[in-house]
Structure 1
Amino acid sequence: MLYLTCNADTAIAICRPHSLKKNKKPISPTQAHTLPLFAYSDILTATNAFSADTFLGKGSHGSVYKAVLQGGAFIAAVKKTKPSNEIEILSHVKSRRLVNLIGLCNDQTNCNINKLIVVEYMPNGSLHDLLHSPKTVGTPGWTARVRFAVHVAKAVRLLHSSEPPVIHRDIKSSNVLIDEKWKARLGDFGLAFRGHVADSRVPPAGTLGYLDPCYLAPGDLSPKSDVFSFGILLLEIASGRHAIDVRHSPPSLLDWAMPLVCRGEFREICDPRIGAPPDMAAFRRMMVLAARCVRSTAERRPTIAEVVECLTAARKNFEAPVMWLRMTGRVVKARGYPFPDWDRSEESVRRVLGGSRNSKRNGKVSSVLGVECGSGPAKHAVRCRSVGSGFLGEMKIKSVLERYPNQEFGSAGLL
């Protein structure tokens, strides 16, 4: 079954259908011409004649509608686009990190100007919706936000490294869609440029607040324009503020955040709905990276490959210690007791760990800790592997026991 959607603000939201195979490589021109062609009458029926009930939002070149195709077999998003741009790019670049094209349809109402494209549907909306929802409940935490940032950076890296390269030109939170596995995808290629920048003849385009100030003429286009937009997106992810918001002074996110970065006031940037992250050092590195991305001189900005490398390293510091979660999930099942409810948020895990997080080392079971646990006269030792000094020491095990004083534990190897 296919699951397809569209972001209500701008772009098409999609997720990879189960029937499609993962394919990180661009498809060949021969494959591009084998895309399914949908009959206009079928699209008209599937969208209820493009009624208001099926309207999902607007893309860069037209409206997007929900379409229930093949008698309800799958749902798709149908969008009007210019035939020379978005279709060309989506026909040659296909990835699980992008909005993938399913098929085409001629717009019989104006077939000389527009075509209809059918794309996959993503059920979890856009990153813009998640970041700027008025509801505090459901606001992404730091682990999710950094993960989304890494996903988008990798999508841009994929575009820039394709042959010929693709420059998106409209990277923003409303063009980042979240799939059924809560992975971020980059969508809406209506403004994208495919080719070498030396051949660029397209006029500057983008969205106010994300648009590179160095991009003033067709010849100024470069991959660093996408890097600038990504830097703004990174600040938006961290702060929860819009790129342009007239309710604040200054209204520009860039003008507000950069002085804070220069003064080292990183906590002031953090979204107040979720507070500061547990690892402020990692957050500081992420904000310095954002500042590098939005430098006024394009040549001084990092490449998107450097951005991916820096964010991937920072992401490890935001994630809860995997080994510790594995340990707590396997604590003693000898007597059939269910493991108690466990708050697995990154803040709680780090609180139990006392803030320490050392890298895992390959090692054998090196010791049996003399930690007594259980109730009654029968007491058992708890074992753990050596995973780095101070990471799963005696005090960590005691923390679990103190947290759950009424839980009876048997003896088991934790890892």
Structure 2
Amino acid sequence: MGFLSCNAESAAATCDSHYWDLKKRSSNSTRRRSTHHKHNLVEIREFQFSEILAATGGFSADSFLGKGSHGSVYKATLDDGKLIAAVKTTKFSKPQLTTLRNHSANCTGCANCTSPAENEIEILSRVRNPRRFVNLIGFCNDSSGNLVLVVEYMLNGSLYDALHSNTRPPGWNRRVRFALQVAKAVLALHSSNPPVIHRDIKSSNVLIDEKGKARLGDFGLALRGHVEDVRVKCTPPAGTMGYLDPCYLAPGDLSTKSDVFSFGILLLEIISGRNAIDLNYSPPSVVDWAVPLIKRGEFLGICDRRIGRPSDMAIIRQLGTLAAKCVRSTAEKRPSMSEAVEWLEQVRKRMQATPIWRGLRRREENEAESGDRREEVGGGIVRGGSRRNGKVSSVGGAEQENEMSKACNNGVWRSRSMPNGDVGGIIARSLNRSRSMSMEGFAN
């Protein structure tokens, strides 16, 4: 389903005092050239509009890729077939353009006088990452004076399509990798100098490249600068309903933790396969639905039923716990993106060790079932524990209980001592590694 976007043209800004005034650049350039702003480190090409028309087949239906946040997106073949790119058109209504131009005429450079397309050029000409972002290649002006952006082409579409439109949705390995790659992209923004706050993190703005890696795109609403900078302080809240931080009600509320909240929504979407807001469910908000289940320790309930649970349920426990922390109602209690990356790195390592855990879990289940049978016939000591409501409770070896079970107050799988000394050693070593995942509870 689609999402509503708050305030389009008035909410995009950059905080660089040496703003690249693209409105003053000619749209009738007679030759293609590479351009640099004196403070830019990245080469941005300026195309002729005729080149873009030819490269997209006159913006034909065959080259149409989809709708962007502020216009349509087309596939383009440039440089005699050597460059495949995506072209993003931008259009504004006459009232929007009039308001923007009237404001700009009397403005000394505040945030409200910049269009999303200009803002995206400004941001991506200063912040570039070949692995984490959908990077800017160049721009031009169309026949009406609107900016046209040329960005990297992502062969495998968006994460939204992969989760919601694909007949074969990604499995747990890919989902964990996607979550980690997006987290690293957001961290790269927050770690830049000055930091960049994306403000529109959502699955449709995460694109998947030819190598199957997730990259963050669409920087039209991004803000570059410190929270005390004038442009950041004067920019109205903006974002996408369902992902928008409820604490972000005024310009002064903006911080990197606003992106953390949006990332938490995205993580819940990755885990559950549900939209951020879906009116087919009650409650429609993925947060209102998932967080109570997580707090009760019912992690199986938030798994995407199309792919079932992972072989190691601790993976869902850890992902769900992180998501719940990210969407806390108090911004200060949310983790930083560096903490989220560290957490997801541990989840990825655990995922890579899944074959070992799968074998251990099968053995534990077999022993549990054997113990239940012995208990039913009144024979000896129950070693396997009992299984009720899909949960396995431990009778012996409680000192080896997974720390994540304590953090979540109601673990689904608990490790216990095994009669075989070698297998017990494997469990103990794995549990020692997993203890680094433990964090404080996530109650608001």
TM-score between the two structures when normalised by the length of structure 1: 0.69
Q: 1:299 to 1:352 in 2, by over 3 A?
A: closer
Q: 1:313 to 1:167 in 2, by over 3 A?
A: same
Report matched runs for 1:99-178 at 5 Å.
Answer: 99-107=134-142, 109-111=143-145, 114-133=146-165, 135=167, 138-178=168-208
Offset from partner CA, 1:339-387 (integer Å, 9 cap, x none): xxxxxxx57x75456669xxxxxxxxxxxxxxxxxxxxxxxxxxxxxxx
**Structure 1 position 29 matched with structure 2 position 26:** no
Q: CA deviation at 1:172?
A: 0.7
Equivalent of 2:321, from 288, 298, 304? Answer: 288
Q: CA deviation at 1:52?
A: 2.7
Offset from partner CA, 1:245-285 (integer Å, 9 cap, x none): 11111111111101101111000000011111122123212
Query: What CA distance in whole angstroms lies between the structure 1 residues aligned with 2:55 and 2:166?
Result: 32
Query: What CA distance in whole angstroms lies between the structure 1 residues aligned with 2:59 and 2:335?
Result: 44
Query: What CA distance in whole angstroms lies between the structure 2 residues aligned with 1:355 and 1:146?
Result: 23
Residue number in structure 2 paired with 1:408:
none
Report matched runs for 1:60-75 at 5 Å.
Answer: 60-75=69-84
Using the TM superposition, name which of 48-57 and 141-150 deviates more: 48-57
Report matched runs for 1:89-104 at 5 Å.
Answer: 89-95=123-129, 96-104=131-139
| Contact 1:28-1:92 at 8 Å conserved across structures | no
AA aligned to 1:106 is N
Residue number in structure 2 paired with 1:302:
335
Offset from partner CA, 1:281-327 (integer Å, 9 cap, x none): 232122111111001111111111111111111111112x4xxxxxx
Q: CA deviation at 1:79?
A: 1.1
| Contact 1:124-1:178 at 8 Å conserved across structures | yes
Residue number in structure 2 paired with 1:245:
278
| Contact 1:168-1:192 at 8 Å conserved across structures | yes
Using the TM superposition, name which of 259-268 and 280-289 deviates more: 280-289
SS in 1 for 2:218: coil
Residue number in structure 1 paired with 2:219:
189
Query: What CA distance in whole angstroms lies between the structure 2 residues aligned with 1:122 and 1:9?
Result: 22
AA aligned to 2:140 is C
Q: 1:294 to 1:99 in 2, by over 3 A?
A: same
SS in 1 for 2:263: helix
AA aligned to 2:135 is N
Query: What CA distance in whole angstroms lies between the structure 2 residues aligned with 1:350 and 1:258?
Result: 27
Using the TM superposition, name which of 51-60 and 223-232 deviates more: 51-60
**Structure 1: where are the runs of 5+ without partners?**
1-7, 11-26, 322-345, 357-387, 394-415
Query: What CA distance in whole angstroms lies between the structure 1 residues aligned with 2:330 and 2:38?
Result: 36
**Structure 2: where are the runs of 5+ without partners?**
5-36, 91-114, 364-420, 427-444
SS in 2 for 1:119: strand
Q: 1:354 to 1:294 in 2, by over 3 A?
A: closer
**Structure 1 position 214 matched with structure 2 position 282:** no
Query: What CA distance in whole angstroms lies between the structure 2 residues aligned with 1:268 and 1:304?
Result: 26
Query: What CA distance in whole angstroms lies between the structure 1 residues aligned with 2:213 and 2:241?
Result: 26
AA aligned to 1:214 is C
| Contact 2:118-2:147 at 8 Å conserved across structures | no
Query: What CA distance in whole angstroms lies between the structure 2 residues aligned with 1:308 and 1:212?
Result: 20
AA aligned to 2:72 is S
Q: 1:30 to 1:222 in 2, by over 3 A?
A: closer
Query: What CA distance in whole angstroms lies between the structure 2 residues aligned with 1:38 and 1:354?
Result: 58
User: What percent identity do the matched residue pairs reach?
Assistant: 64
Query: What CA distance in whole angstroms lies between the structure 1 residues aligned with 2:217 and 2:424?
Result: 41
Offset from partner CA, 1:166-210 (integer Å, 9 cap, x none): 000011111111111111100111111111112212111111110
**Structure 1 position 84 matched with structure 2 position 94:** no
| Contact 1:101-1:119 at 8 Å conserved across structures | yes
Offset from partner CA, 1:86-118 (integer Å, 9 cap, x none): 0011101111110111122222x232xx32121
| Contact 2:40-2:126 at 8 Å conserved across structures | no
AA aligned to 2:214 is A
Q: CA deviation at 1:39?
A: 1.3
Residue number in structure 2 paired with 1:373:
none
Q: 1:97 to 1:9 in 2, by over 3 A?
A: farther
Q: CA deviation at 1:65?
A: 1.3
Query: What CA distance in whole angstroms lies between the structure 2 residues aligned with 1:245 and 1:51?
Result: 32
Query: What CA distance in whole angstroms lies between the structure 1 residues aligned with 2:357 and 2:302?
Result: 22
AA aligned to 2:317 is R
Residue number in structure 2 paired with 1:268:
301
Equivalent of 1:58, from 57, 63, 67? Answer: 67
Query: What CA distance in whole angstroms lies between the structure 2 residues aligned with 1:154 and 1:255?
Result: 26
| Contact 1:9-1:174 at 8 Å conserved across structures | no
Offset from partner CA, 1:126-170 (integer Å, 9 cap, x none): 1111111252xx321111101110000000000001011100001
Offset from partner CA, 1:63-102 (integer Å, 9 cap, x none): 2111121232222111135353100111011111101111
Count of residue correspondences: 307
Q: 1:56 to 1:99 in 2, by over 3 A?
A: same
Query: What CA distance in whole angstroms lies between the structure 1 residues aligned with 2:139 and 2:265?
Result: 33
